[in-house]
Amino acid sequence: MPSNKSVSDAPIVQFSNCRILRDHRLQREDLWVREGKILNPEKLFFDEKGSADVQLDCKGSIIAPGFIDVQINGGFGVDFSLATEDFKSGIDLVSQKILSHGVTSFCPTLVTSPPSVYHQILPQISVRNGGPHGAGILGAHLEGPFISREKKGAHPEHCLRTFEAGAFQDLLATYGSLDCVRIVTLAPEMERSSEVIRELTKRGICVSLGHSVANLSQAEEAVQHGATFITHLFNAMLPFHHRDPGIVGLLTSDKIPAGRRVFYGMISDGIHTNPAALRIAHRAHPKGLVLVTDAIAGMGLAPGRHTLGQQVVEIDGLNTYIAGTKTLSGSVATMDTCVRHFQEATGCSVEMALEAASLHPAQLLGIDHSKGTLNYDSDADFLMLNDSLHVQATYIAGQEVWRQDTSGM
């Protein structure tokens, strides 16, 4: 005989009076959570004869999956490309602070650095779940040093490298280890890049194309070898040209292997990408668009001088430049700001704007069975937002980890 007792003794929390983003649309239904996972209420009622232990009134809020930032160089005075004694406390600080901006998982990103820096920093980055201590770490994103001199952007030229005869061994020697690496950005026009892309892909590491002068056929070849991402589309690559659209042409290429989707990062901060360019990309390939902050140490700090790896950068309003130049160097925009700007600039649906920061990065990394959605049995990493997409509360594994302070309002 089935008992009335729930299968698990863990408390069941019911979030009601909300609109949930599920199956690409906002739906008026309740969200049920137990032991850090999203429950199927039908199974709960009919199989377990269970009910909620705690009911929370969301007062009409939107509930959306937590944001995933796959390109963030630091923030709040912390630079992930600086080898310091207290690197761990720096990464902890950033993972704590980004909770208020709706980020529940991220890929700490290192810009082009000397091998000694990778050897020092990478062993200190470990993949971990999020919680009250901060957002989860999905693995490192290594942007460089195997990139183009002509499109180096804010990357220090003296640290750039090419692939030598034993290309993959060369990459291993440079980084020291790939244990915690999730994404590698490289320039696909480099000699021997194909074998590197194949080897990285074989190890489950996402290869991204960027800081590159590749033409379209070189980019297509890289995708055929396993590349699946484009690092900050339009930035640090050849501009679109109608006779050879370069990497940008991947958005509408007919040479993408069947069943494969190419994703592309967009820095939607109002500085790096003109709203018209955002609209072009979104209309050409909406399902591949992944919002990234590309944030640097100066995010969350006052204007002035800060670092980005080996370089000094100056922040002037929302503009960040390599000191003494007009070369853009990362952004100081937060993820929730990028989501709102993207929605405003493109006029896309609220659902599309939210999925560009949650579902799409999860699909890129192949973790959409657990993150980036509110499907049953997914991790209960989610946000409460108001209608203007300002974050009101952040939850990880069903636990509230941040809430907007409304006492002084």
The single-letter DSSP state of residue 66 is P
Q: Is residue 6 part of a domain?
A: no
* Separate counts of helices (H) and strands (E) for the chain: 10, 24
Quote the percentage of the chain above a pLDDT of 70. 97
Does 160 share its domain with 150? yes
Does 114 share its domain with 214? yes
CATH code of the domain containing 163: 3.20.20.140
Q: Could you say which of 294, 336, 368, 379 is catalytic? A: 294
105 annotated to bind ligand: no
Tell me if 391 sits within 8 A of 383, measured CB to CB: yes
Would you call 270 helix, strand, or coil by DSSP? Answer: coil
CATH code of the domain containing 40: 2.30.40.10
For residue 8, is pLDDT > 80? Answer: no
User: Which is nearest to 21 in space by CA: 370, 361, 349?
Assistant: 349
Does 28 share its domain with 147? no
**Known catalytic residue: 294?**
yes
Q: Is residue 4 part of a domain?
A: no
Q: Is residue 160 part of a domain?
A: yes
Q: Is residue 1 part of a domain?
A: no
279 annotated to bind ligand: no
Question: Which pLDDT belongs to residue 51?
Answer: 87
pLDDT tens string 383-395: 999 999 999 999 9
For residue 20, is pLDDT > 50? Answer: yes
d(CA 32, CA 55): 9
Does 33 share its domain with 151? no
Cα 238 to Cα 58, 148, 257, 261: the distances in Å are: 47, 11, 23, 22
Question: Which pLDDT belongs to residue 2?
Answer: 40
For residue 293, is pLDDT > 90? Answer: yes
Does 179 share its domain with 215? yes
Spatial CB neighbours of 260, under 8 Å, sequence gap ≥ 6: 223, 228
24 annotated to bind ligand: no
Does 104 share its domain with 212? yes
Tokens of 253: 């290429």
Q: At what angle do helices 335-346 and 275-284 cross, to 10 degrees?
A: 80
Does 36 share its domain with 76? no
Does 58 share its domain with 75? no
Cα 334 to Cα 67, 269, 340: the distances in Å are: 11, 8, 10
Domain enclosing residue 389, as ranges? 13-64+373-403
User: Which is nearest to 382 in space by CA: 371, 394, 370?
Assistant: 394
369 annotated to bind ligand: no
Tell me which of 90-94, 164-168, 245-249 is least confident: 164-168
Q: Is residue 3 part of a domain?
A: no
Q: Is residue 2 part of a domain?
A: no
The mean pLDDT of 313-329, rounded to a whole number, is 91
User: Which is nearest to 119 in space by CA: 166, 163, 83?
Assistant: 83
Does 245 share its domain with 388? no
Tokens of 327: 């070369």
Tell me if 149 sits within 8 A of 184, measured CB to CB: no
Does 60 share its domain with 84? no
Would you call 48 helix, strand, or coil by DSSP? Answer: coil
d(CA 237, CA 311): 21
User: Which is nearest to 264 in space by CA: 244, 241, 283, 281?
Assistant: 281
Does 78 share its domain with 184? yes
pLDDT tens string 105-135: 999 999 999 999 999 999 999 999 999 999 9
Q: Is residue 347 part of a domain?
A: yes
Say how many domains are in the chain.
2
Q: Is residue 5 part of a domain?
A: no
Does 205 share its domain with 59? no
